[in-house]
C-alpha cells in the first residue's frame, strides 16, 4: 500500500525506523574520497614535476586553469545529465570520464598534454557534487540533510589526506615513477564504478528500506510536483543566490588543494607527501568543520529554527573561522600556520556543507542537479580566475601569498550577503505563483 504524505503537524510523530540511508552515505563517502585522491594528486606532485619538467608558476597556473574551465563547463552538462537520467546512471558516466582523465596524466609530457588531461578529469569530476546532493535529497529529509551532506563533504578532506600516503605507497614502497602512479591509481575509479552500479538505487527501489524508514525519508510535506528545466532554473533568483556564493567561495578550496603543497615547500621547505603530519592536522580540522557545520544547522532546525535562520547563521559563523588566514604569511612558526590554515579549512567546509544544502531546500528534487550544475559552473569560473591570478601574483611578488590569503577572508561574508539579498527567506521556488517541490518519486 502506498504511503500517504505526512502533514506538517505530524512530521515529528514519524519514527526513525531503520538506518539503511546511512549506508548510502557511506557509499557516497567512499566515492568522494576517491574523487579527491584523483583531484589532489597533481597538486601534491607539483613541486617535483615543476623541477623535472621546468614549469614556471604561470605554467602550473595554466594547467590548473584548464581543469577549472573544464570543471565549470562540465557542471552544466553533468547537472542536466543527472536530472535527466538520475544519479545512478549520471554518476556512473561521470566516474568513467574522470578515471580516464586521471590515467591520462601518466602519459602526459608537455604543459599542453597536462592541460588536456586535467580538462578530461574536470569534465568527469563535475558530476560528483550534483550526484551527491541529488542522492542526499532522495535519501534524507530536510532535518537530517545538512548533517548527512556534512559527513559526505568531510570525505573531501579524507581524500586529500590519503593522497599523500597513496603516492608514497606507489612511488616509495612499490618504487614506481609518477607516471605509473597515475596509471595504477586509476584502478580506484574502476572499483568505485563497480560498487556504485551494484549498490546504489533510490529508496523505493532498493528493497532494503523498511516502511518506517521510508516514511521518515519522505516525511517532508510534499507540494505540487514540478520539473523545472534549464530555461526556468536560470530565471530563478534562488538559483543565482547559490551560484553567486559558489563563484565567491569555491576558489578558496581550489587554492588550498592545488597550491598548499607549493606554499609549504617554498615557505618552510617541507614536502607534504613526505612529512604528512601538517597535512593530516589541517585536513582533519576541516573534517571537524564539515561535520560540525552540518550538525549545527540541522540541530537548529530540529529545535524549531527555520532553515533560513539555521543555514545563514551557520555560514556566518563559518566565515569568521577564515579570518585568521590574514596573519598566516607573517608567521615563522610552521605549526601555528598549520593550525590557522586548518581552522580556515574547517570554516570553509562548514560553509560549503550548508551551501550545498540550499538547492534541496528551495528546489524540486528533479531540478537539484541542474541548480548544483549552475553553481558548480560559477564556482569553476571563479576557480579558474583564482588559479590564473594566483600564478601571476606569485610570479610578480616573488612567491608572496599575502594578497591571495587576504582576498580569501572576505568572500564568505559577501557570499552570505548575496544569498540574503537574492533569497531573503530561502523559500521554495514558485512557478506560476505556486511554491513547488517534488513529491517522493
Q: What digits encode the pLDDT tens for the residues 193-213? A: 999 999 998 888 877 888 888
Residue-wise pLDDT for 421-441, tens only, equals 999 999 888 755 455 554 433
- How far apart are alpha carbons 180 and 158 in whole angstroms? 23
> Which has more confidence, 347 or 62?
347
- How far apart are alpha carbons 344 and 216 in whole angstroms? 35
Residue-wise pLDDT for 126-141, tens only, equals 999 889 888 888 888 8
Q: What was the pLDDT predicted at 161?
A: 83
C-alpha cell at 249: 567561495
Q: Does domain 19-435 have CATH number 1.10.3720.10?
A: no
End-to-end CA distance of the chain: 15
Q: Break the chain into its structural domains and give their ranges.
A: 19-435
Residue 9 has pLDDT above 70, yes or no: no
- How far apart are alpha carbons 33 and 20 in whole angstroms? 20
Residue 91 has pLDDT above 60, yes or no: yes
Residue 296 has pLDDT above 80, yes or no: yes
Confidence band (pLDDT; 50, 70, 90) for 227? low
- How far apart are alpha carbons 419 and 240 in whole angstroms? 8
Percent of the chain with pLDDT over 90: 39
> Which has more confidence, 319 or 217?
319
Residue 223 has pLDDT above 70, yes or no: no
- Asked which of 12-16, 63-67, 232-236, 386-390 is least confident by mean pLDDT, the reply is 12-16
Q: What was the pLDDT predicted at 5?
A: 39
CB distance 317 to 172 below 8 Å: no
**Mean pLDDT of the 377-386 span:** 85
CA angle centred on 352, ends 249 and 136, rounded to 5°: 140
**Strand, helix or coil for residue 284:** helix
**Which residue in this structure is represented by grid cell 538506518?**
19
Q: What was the pLDDT predicted at 431?
A: 58
Radius of gyration of the chain (CA): 21
Confidence band (pLDDT; 50, 70, 90) for 333? very high
- How far apart are alpha carbons 353 and 225 in whole angstroms? 26
CB distance 191 to 99 below 8 Å: no
**Which residue in this structure is represented by grid cell 568527469?**
124
Cα–Cα distances in Å, from 40 out to 163, 193, 257? Answer: 7, 19, 6
Kindly give, in sequence order, each residue whose CB lies less than 8 Å from that of residue 38, ignoring residues fewer than 6 positions away: 98, 99, 102, 121, 125, 185, 188, 189
pTM of the predicted structure, to 2 decimals: 0.76
Residue-wise pLDDT for 157-172, tens only, equals 788 888 888 988 998 8
Q: What was the pLDDT predicted at 15?
A: 53
Residue 31 has pLDDT above 90, yes or no: yes
> Which has more confidence, 217 or 12?
217
**Mean pLDDT of the 70-91 span:** 87
Q: What was the pLDDT predicted at 8?
A: 39
Confidence band (pLDDT; 50, 70, 90) for 397? confident
CA angle centred on 238, ends 232 and 243, rounded to 5°: 95
Residue 77 has pLDDT above 50, yes or no: yes
CB distance 301 to 142 below 8 Å: yes
Mean pLDDT over the full length of the chain: 85
Confidence band (pLDDT; 50, 70, 90) for 53? confident
Residue 340 has pLDDT above 60, yes or no: yes
CB distance 271 to 160 below 8 Å: no
Q: What was the pLDDT predicted at 297?
A: 93
Cα–Cα distances in Å, from 216 out to 22, 105, 271? Answer: 13, 45, 48
Residue 406 has pLDDT above 80, yes or no: yes
Amino acid at each position: 500500500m502506498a504511503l500517504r504524505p505526512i502533514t506538517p503537524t505530524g512530521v515529528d510523530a514519524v519514527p526513525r525506523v531503520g538506518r539503511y540511508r546511512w549506508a548510502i552515505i557511506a557509499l557516497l563517502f567512499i566515492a568522494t574520497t576517491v574523487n579527491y585522491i584523483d583531484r589532489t594528486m597533481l597538486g601534491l606532485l607539483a613541486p617535483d614535476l615543476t623541477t623535472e619538467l621546468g614549469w614556471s608558476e604561470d605554467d602550473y597556473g595554466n594547467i590548473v586553469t584548464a581543469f577549472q574551465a573544464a570543471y565549470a563547463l562540465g557542471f552544466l552538462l553533468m547537472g542536466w545529465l543527472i536530472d535527466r537520467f538520475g544519479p545512478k546512471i549520471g554518476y556512473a558516466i561521470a566516474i568513467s570520464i574522470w578515471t580516464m582523465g586521471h590515467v591520462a596524466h601518466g602519459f602526459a609530457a608537455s604543459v599542453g598534454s597536462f592541460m588536456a588531461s586535467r580538462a578530461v578529469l574536470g569534465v568527469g569530476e563535475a558530476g560528483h557534487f550534483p550526484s551527491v546532493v541529488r542522492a542526499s535529497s532522495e535519501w534524507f529529509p530536510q532535518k537530517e540533510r545538512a548533517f548527512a551532506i556534512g559527513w559526505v563533504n568531510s570525505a573531501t578532506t579524507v581524500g586529500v589526506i590519503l593522497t599523500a600516503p597513496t603516492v608514497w605507497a606507489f612511488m616509495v614502497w612499490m618504487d614506481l615513477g609518477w607516471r605509473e602512479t597515475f596509471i595504477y591509481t586509476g584502478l580506484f575509479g574502476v572499483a568505485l564504478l563497480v560498487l556504485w552500479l551494484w549498490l546504489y538505487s533510490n529508496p523505493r527501489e532498493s528493497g532494503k528500506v523498511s516502511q518506517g524508514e521510508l516514511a521518515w525519508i519522505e516525511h517532508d510535506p510534499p507540494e505540487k510536483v514540478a520539473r523545472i528545466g534549464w530555461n526556468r532554473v536560470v530565471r530563478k533568483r534562488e538559483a543565482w543566490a547559490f551560484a553567486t556564493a559558489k563563484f565567491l567561495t569555491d576558489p578558496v578550496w581550489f587554492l588550498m588543494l592545488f597550491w598548499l603543497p607549493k606554499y609549504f615547500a617554498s615557505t618552510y621547505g617541507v614536502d607534504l607527501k613526505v612529512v604528512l603530519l601538517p597535512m593530516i592536522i589541517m585536513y582533519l580540522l576541516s573534517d571537524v568543520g564539515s561535520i560540525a557545520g552540518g550538525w549545527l544547522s540541522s540541530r537548529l532546525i530540529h529545535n524549531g529554527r527555520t532553515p533560513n535562520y539555521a543555514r545563514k547563521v551557520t555560514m556566518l559563523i563559518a566565515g569568521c573561522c577564515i579570518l585568521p588566514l590574514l596573519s598566516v604569511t607573517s608567521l615563522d612558526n610552521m605549526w601555528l600556520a598549520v593550525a590557522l590554515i586548518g581552522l580556515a579549512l574547517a570554516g570553509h567546509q562548514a560553509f560549503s556543507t550548508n551551501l550545498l544544502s540550499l538547492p534541496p531546500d528551495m528546489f524540486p528534487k528533479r531540478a537539484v542537479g541542474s541548480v548544483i550544475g549552475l553553481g558548480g559552473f560559477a564556482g569553476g569560473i571563479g576557480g579558474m580566475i583564482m588559479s590564473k591570478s594566483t600564478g601571476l601574483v606569485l610570479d610578480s611578488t616573488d612567491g608572496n601569498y599575502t594578497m591571495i590569503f587576504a582576498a580569501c577572508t572576505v568572500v564568505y561574508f559577501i557570499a552570505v550577503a548575496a544569498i540574503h539579498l537574492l533569497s531573503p527567506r530561502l523559500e521554495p521556488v514558485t512557478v506560476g505563483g505556486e511554491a513547488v517541490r517534488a513529491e517522493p518519486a
